[in-house]
């Protein structure tokens, strides 16, 4: 009778760390292993601190849906309007004008995504203003500084 054995392989990455020697005092370098791909313990603590709170994420999503959804929805609604004007009223809008209006709507949606994120209050305890102009002015320099450091 043969047993079915399943092995899992855990690849470990060596890492040196200084640990106290105890009563003798001083530090000793020892090799510590951790799974490859997992952050070192200090980095794991930092990543939990950098997580975006749920309240802020919900606030950003509401603003994105508002500031991006409205221009895109209006742009989509213009297509049947142009068709209606052409078929029933006999008023034909030049094709370049239709393309331009559609580009404005979808471009406004793209801008709305960015503005929705930057105009939300990033402080979980403060809801922010309705249009978010003050939050946008506060958050844009933070984003630009972060991009400069990278």
What average pLDDT does the chain have?
81
In the predicted structure, residue 4 carries a pLDDT above the cut 90: no
Mean pLDDT of 127-139: 91
In the predicted structure, residue 9 carries a pLDDT above the cut 90: no
pLDDT (0 to 100) of residue 6? 46
In the predicted structure, residue 113 carries a pLDDT above the cut 80: yes
Distance of CA 115 to the CA centre of its chain: 13
pLDDT (0 to 100) of residue 81? 94
Mean pLDDT of 88-92: 91
In the predicted structure, residue 117 carries a pLDDT above the cut 70: yes
Which CA distances in Å does 23 have to 17, 84, 119?
19, 88, 56
């Amino acid at each position: 009778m043969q047993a079915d054995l399943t092995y899992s392989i855990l690849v470990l990455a060596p890492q040196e760390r200084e640990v106290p020697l105890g009563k003798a005092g001083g530090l000793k370098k020892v090799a510590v292993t951790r799974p490859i791909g997992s952050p070192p313990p200090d980095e794991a603590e930092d990543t939990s601190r950098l997580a975006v709170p749920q309240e802020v994420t919900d606030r950003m999503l509401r603003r994105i849906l508002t500031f991006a959804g409205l221009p895109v929805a209006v742009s989509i609604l213009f297509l049947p309007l142009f068709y209606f004007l052409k078929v029933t009223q006999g008023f034909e809008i030049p094709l370049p004008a239709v393309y331009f209006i559609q580009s404005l709507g979808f471009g406004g949606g793209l801008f709305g995504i960015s503005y929705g994120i930057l105009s939300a209050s990033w402080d979980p305890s403060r809801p922010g203003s309705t249009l978010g102009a003050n939050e946008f002015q506060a958050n844009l320099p933070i984003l630009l500084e972060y991009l400069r450091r990278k």
